[in-house]
């Protein structure tokens, strides 16, 4: 294609009248993995929401182009069908809807949107079970309602399962590593790496460099106070891990106690 998969220019975003992103620039090409690191509250999740089209976040300046198309007017479901996947930092519980059922609806909604034939229940089941096996997700868990009563680790593995089933072109994974033990981290890391192909791209948001042992990034960026303050290669993550985000953030204000 030659064109960037994702091109974010001077992006300013506000929520509830408060500016959160203050001029983000980022170019992601197909085949690349970008890691975004940064302190809490720096706007990482906000960036992921804006890419996915979450209502309530207003773009006040700048632009987002995805595969040559202006992303901003598209509703979330259209972006999903066009291949954007968001792995949530806090996956949402959907009581009463079995994970398998949810995936069937999601997959077929996307296929329908793209003018592809919908899969029957059997087809979806086979696909989901195959991917679930790789992530050591049991058949029982697939019958349970989406994220309901799941442990933190189960929720994150379930996000990766959804990604594997939906086969996105651009995956944004928001702190998929938090709350995972070493084994789960490996499963998730392997799951993500398996989806790494020349025509896909990933943005991996994380606090810790340990995930990046499993998903080796091509680029690492530091987001601080709504701006990308540093960019580099893999080694930047290691450096940050050693030295923290010192200098990326003003000293924390200690709230006065009443």
Partner 1 sequence: MSARPETITAVEAAGETYKHGFVTEIDSEFAPKGLSEDIVRFISAKKGEPEWMLDWRLRAYRRWLTMQEPAWAKVDFPQIDYQDSYYYAAPKGFGTRPKSLEEVDPELLRTYEKLGIPLSERMLLAGVAVDAVFDSVSVVTTFKEKLHEAGVIFCSISEAVQDHPDMVKKYLGSVVPYADNFHATLNSAVFSDGTFVYIPPGVRCPMELSTYFRINAANTGQFERTLIIADKGSYVSYLEGCTAPMRDENQLHAAVVELVALDDAEIKYSTVQNWYPGDKEGRGGIYNFVTKRGLCRGRNSKISWTQVETGSAITWKYPSCILQGDNSVGEFYSIAITNNHQQADTGTKMIHIGRNTTSRIVAKGISAGASQSTYRGLVSIHPRAEGARNHTQCDSLLIGDKCGAHTVPYIEVRNPSAQVEHEATTSKLSEEQMFYCRQRGLDAESAVALLVNGFCREVLQHLPMEFAVEAQKLVGVSLEGSVG
Ligand X SMILES: Nc1ncnc2c1ncn2[C@@H]1O[C@H](COP(=O)(O)OP(=O)(O)O)[C@@H](O)[C@H]1O
* Packing angle, helices 99-113 and 152-166, rounded to 10: 30
**Least distance (Å) from ligand X to the CB of residue 95?**
23
User: Among 76, 123, 153, 179, which residue sits at the site for partner 1 (rule: CB under 8 A)?
Assistant: 76
User: Among 9, 12, 15, 31, which residue sits at the site for ligand X (rule: CB under 6 A)?
Assistant: 15
233 φ, ψ (degrees, to nearest 5): -95, -165
**Least distance (Å) from ligand X to the CB of residue 222?**
11
Q: What is the DSSP letter of 248?
A: S
User: Between residue 46 and residue 65, which ones bind ligand X under the rule CB under 6 A?
Assistant: 46, 56
When CB distances are held under 5 to 8 angstroms depending on the partner's kind, the choice from Mg ion, partner 1, ligand X, none that residue 186 binds is: none
Interaction of residue 147 with ligand X, rule CB under 6 A: no
**Least distance (Å) from ligand X to the CB of residue 21?**
8
Interaction of residue 162 with ligand X, rule CB under 6 A: no
The DSSP result for 29-45, as a single string, is -TT-EEEEE--TTSSHH
Given the DSSP bridges, would you call strands 201-205 and 33-37 parallel, antiparallel or unpaired?
Answer: parallel
Choices 106-114, 124-132, 134-142, 150-158 (CB under 8 A): range interacting with partner 1: 106-114
Interaction of residue 221 with ligand X, rule CB under 6 A: no
With contact defined as beta carbons under 8 Å apart, do 79 and 71 qualify? yes
CB closer to ligand X out of 100 and 211: 211
The DSSP result for 183-243, as a single string, is HHHHHHHHHHHHT--TT-EEEEE-S-TTHHHHS--SEEEEEETTEEEEEE-HHHHHHHHHH
Positive or negative, the Cα torsion across 95, 101, 106, 112?
negative
With contact defined as beta carbons under 8 Å apart, do 86 and 174 qualify? yes
When CB distances are held under 5 to 8 angstroms depending on the partner's kind, the choice from partner 1, Mg ion, ligand X, none that residue 18 binds is: ligand X
With contact defined as beta carbons under 8 Å apart, do 232 and 200 qualify? no
User: Among 68, 75, 233, 247, which residue sits at the site for partner 1 (rule: CB under 8 A)?
Assistant: 75
When CB distances are held under 5 to 8 angstroms depending on the partner's kind, the choice from ligand X, partner 1, Mg ion, none that residue 20 binds is: ligand X
Judged by the rule CB under 8 A, the positions of this chain that interact with partner 1 are 52-56, 75-77, 79-81, 85-86, 88, 91-97, 102, 105-107, 109-110, 113, 145, 162, 166
């Amino acid at each position: 294609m030659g064109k960037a998969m994702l091109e974010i220019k001077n992006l300013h975003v506000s929520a509830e009248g408060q500016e959160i992103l203050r001029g983000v620039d980022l170019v992601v090409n197909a085949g690349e993995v970008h890691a975004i690191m940064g302190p809490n509250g720096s706007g990482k999740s906000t960036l992921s929401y804006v890419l996915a089209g979450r209502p309530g976040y207003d773009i006040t300046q700048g632009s987002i182009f995805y595969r040559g198309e202006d992303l901003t007017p598209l509703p979330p479901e259209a972006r999903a069908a066009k291949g954007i996947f968001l792995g949530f930092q806090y996956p949402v519980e959907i009581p009463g809807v079995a994970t398998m059922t949810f995936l069937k609806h999601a997959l077929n909604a996307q296929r329908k949107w793209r003018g592809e034939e919908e899969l029957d229940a059997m087809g979806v089941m086979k696909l989901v079970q195959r991917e679930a096996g790789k992530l050591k997700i049991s058949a029982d868990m697939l019958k349970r309602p989406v994220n309901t009563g799941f442990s933190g680790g189960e929720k994150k593995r379930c996000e990766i399962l959804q990604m594997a089933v939906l086969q996105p072109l651009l995956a944004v994974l928001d702190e998929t590593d938090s709350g995972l033990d070493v084994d789960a981290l490996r499963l998730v890391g392997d799951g993500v790496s398996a989806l790494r192909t020349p025509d896909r791209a990933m943005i991996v948001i994380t606090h810790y460099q340990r995930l990046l042992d499993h998903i080796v990034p091509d680029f690492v960026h530091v987001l601080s106070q709504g701006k990308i303050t540093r960019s580099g290669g893999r080694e930047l993550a290691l450096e940050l891990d050693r030295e923290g985000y010192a200098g990326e953030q003003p000293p924390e204000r200690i709230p006065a106690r009443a």
